[in-house]
Amino acid sequence: MLRNGLEPWHLLIVALVVIVLFGSKKLPDTARALGRSMRILKSEAKAMKDDAGEPVSS
C-alpha cells in the first residue's frame, strides 16, 4: 500500500486535516506545545544515553 512512501500530496492532505481539526486559532499553540514536547523528549533521550555510557562506580 505505501510502497512509494509519503509523497508531497500526502503531506498536504495531512496538513489540511490538521487545520480542519484544530482550527487556525489553536494551530500556533498546538505547534508550540509539540515543539516543546519534542525538545523535552530529545533532552531526556540524550540524558539516558549519557547515563548508560558512564561506568558504574561501587
**How do residues 19-56 score in pLDDT, each as one tens digit?**
888 887 888 888 899 999 999 999 999 999 888 776 65
> What is the pLDDT at residue 24?
79
Per the structure block, which three cell numbers stand in for 32?
A: 508550540
DSSP string, 10-39: HHHHHHHHHHHHHHHHHHHHHHHHHHHHHH
> What is the pLDDT at residue 36?
97
Whether this prediction's pTM lies above 0.85 is answered by no
> What is the pLDDT at residue 57?
62
> What is the pLDDT at residue 35?
94
> What is the pLDDT at residue 22?
80
Per the structure block, which three cell numbers stand in for 58?
A: 561501587
Residue 10, Cα to own-chain centre: how many angstroms?
Answer: 18
